[in-house]
Structure 1
Amino acid sequence: MSNKLRLVALPIKATTATTATPQITLLSQPPTVALQENYLTKTINWCDRQWNKLSDSADGHWKKRVWNGGESVMDRVPYTEWALKHIEPGQSVAPNSTHKLDILYPKSVISDKDLLNMVKASFISRAARHRRSMWIALFIAPITLPVAIIPVVPNLPLFYVLWRAWSHWRAHRGAVYLGRLLANNQLNPRESDELDRFISTHPNLTTKDINTLSKILKLPPQATLEAHRAVKQIDSDSKRQE
């Protein structure tokens, strides 16, 4: 494992008659040595803990229903957004330096050139979209304030739009960061024999396959969850197109 962030380019959907390259998602592998948390990270982690506490509520309780609904909403957030928002520049190489960010990939299904083209087309190109969506969410936020006068019920619409604004900001930051590294030739496709062997026998990944691969690559829980979401979303898109 590295003491710097590295990415895993995970092919989710194999090539077809109409696609020359597989669909991929980018999974973040943070450094093995934990970095000191800043105030923003501490706040985010605290919010995550408070949110997950809702899942411990009894079935049928409004807290459990809110948690179930929230998780369903999160599953519909595009997998590309999840990938971008978990790229932490502070854990990785500095732009305009001599260091490079490794992207592990399976050489049997995608070339290094195609990989960089896909990173640009599917992830970096979304920077402006996420910036625009962030400002739209912030503009909508004050409109939800009247809900706060309702007793007992929390202002879920406000929480949602603020969460979406934060999510889009993080994704925008990740996309801009990757764009700077690509422009400076600091993205380094790196062949992974482990990933290559697994993908060669599992061309169309299932959630069960993801769990197995996660153990092989020692992926963190968040990356495993993001891979699950990517598989479900791409499978769902494929069924709608049939």
Structure 2
Amino acid sequence: MRLIAVPLARSRPGINPISTFVAQRAANAVHRATTTATGTTTTTTTTTTDGSDPQRKAPLSKRLLQRASAFWIDLGRTDQKSTLDWKRRTYVTGERLMDRIEYQEWALKGIDPAMDPKLIAAQAAVDGGQGSEKSAVDAGASPQIPLLYPPSLLKPEPLIASLKNLTDQRTPHHYKRFWVCVVGMPFTIPFALIPVVPNLPFFYLVYRAWSHWQAYKSSAFLSGLIAQNRLVAQQSPELDSIYAEAAPPPAEPAASSREEGKKASESRPSDDDERMLLKRHHIELLMGRLELPESCKADLRRARLQVERSMLDGKLEELESNSAGLK
């Protein structure tokens, strides 16, 4: 596995920008390294869309998550009817709630040590009492994790410091929120008496509890990597080239959509705003060139929209201070 720092915005040139992070599966990282070095690849192993081996049965937790995702997508279908249209209304409201979840939480949930089997073995060697941490490292049980960043926008020391500050803030935050959701679940029992519609508040709290727990585990995992000096910042000229690439010329909009586009542009910063570093077309370039998991596209979109909202509210500098640990 390797991590990729994605700069989002900055209030003025010359300061360390606000960044989010995405994780790349070990198999994809090796594939990218091979392609970069040779210009070709000879990998023939069949993988699924998320990079896993199709011959290996997914764990129960992942299968349950896939079922829940399929059920959620089914709610948003427009070709089905339900009493009071509760399915579509639930889906639309739920998507809005998802977009309100902080992008830092989405980023943490996307970082899973299971993406690299070596990390699981390394943690077992360190935590399982099989000698000291030093002996585990000497034996090669604790691999280093590269953290790629665009050198024209980020510097390694502030980048690692901001990631450490993120884990210091988020580890206790998500642990506390997890228990708040668990404690709140019994109070949703009266909603089960409503006919036809399922107990939506209960299922929402279940989802939020799971989400906070995943973010808590990932944050604690990253904190351990930083404490053990196993996270190594590496310059990525490819990221620099992506951020330097200009947006393609926009297609001529239809007359009916021109007015809608004008109203939308008035409610958010322009792509010409120099404070916003991650442009809309950058997300597509990152997805294609780095072969990121499909879930990263939604995570990056949410991060960009939330930072845009902070810019409109005049809170960009406050967001920078929190990211740098100055408050």
Structure 1 position 200, deviation (Å):
3.8
Q: Trace 1:32-181 onto structure 2 (pairs within 5 A).
A: 32=27, 33-34=51-52, 36=56, 37-58=58-79, 61-92=85-116, 93=119, 94-95=122-123, 96=126, 97-181=141-225
Matched residue SS, 1:51:
helix
Q: 2:19 aligned to 21, 24, 33, which one?
A: 24
1:96-138 alpha-carbon deviations (Å, 9 max, x no partner): 5330112111111111111111111124431000000000011
Deviates more, 1:38-47 or 1:174-183: 38-47
Q: 1:8 aligned to 4, 16, 22, which one?
A: 4
Q: Distance in 1 between matches of 2:208 and 2:291?
A: 29
CA contact (8 A) 2:191 2:199 kept: yes
Which consecutive unaligned segments of at least 5 residues does structure 1 have? Answer: none
Tell me which residue corresponds to 1:222.
295
> Which amino acid counterpart does residue 34 of structure 1 have in structure 2?
S
C-alpha RMSD of the superposition = 2.0
> Which amino acid counterpart does residue 90 of structure 1 have in structure 2?
A
What percentage of residue pairs aligned between the two structures are identical?
31
CA contact (8 A) 1:124 1:179 kept: yes
Q: Distance in 2 between matches of 1:55 and 1:125?
A: 35
CA contact (8 A) 1:123 1:175 kept: yes
In structure 2, the CA distance between the partners of 1:31 and 1:42, relative to structure 1 (3 Å rule), is farther
Deviates more, 1:223-232 or 1:207-216: 207-216
CA contact (8 A) 1:31 1:91 kept: yes
Matched residue SS, 1:12:
strand
1:191-228 alpha-carbon deviations (Å, 9 max, x no partner): 21110122245762223331233212222210111000
Give aligned pairs, total. 237
CA contact (8 A) 1:124 1:178 kept: no
Q: Distance in 2 between matches of 1:44 and 1:124?
A: 28
**TM-score, length-normalised on structure 1?**
0.91
Q: Distance in 2 between matches of 1:178 and 1:90?
A: 13
CA contact (8 A) 1:214 1:224 kept: yes
Structure exhibiting the larger radius of gyration computed from Cα positions = 2
Q: Distance in 2 between matches of 1:123 and 1:180?
A: 10
Q: Distance in 1 between matches of 2:10 and 2:214?
A: 29
Q: Distance in 1 between matches of 2:79 and 2:26?
A: 37
Which consecutive unaligned segments of at least 5 residues does structure 2 have? Answer: 28-50, 127-140, 247-275, 316-327
Matched residue SS, 1:56:
coil
**TM-score, length-normalised on structure 2?**
0.68
Matched residue SS, 1:185:
coil
Q: Distance in 1 between matches of 2:210 and 2:173?
A: 14
Structure 1 position 14, deviation (Å):
3.3
Q: Distance in 1 between matches of 2:80 and 2:168?
A: 41
CA contact (8 A) 2:167 2:220 kept: no
Q: Distance in 2 between matches of 1:160 and 1:70?
A: 9
Q: Distance in 2 between matches of 1:81 and 1:123?
A: 11
CA contact (8 A) 2:103 2:303 kept: yes
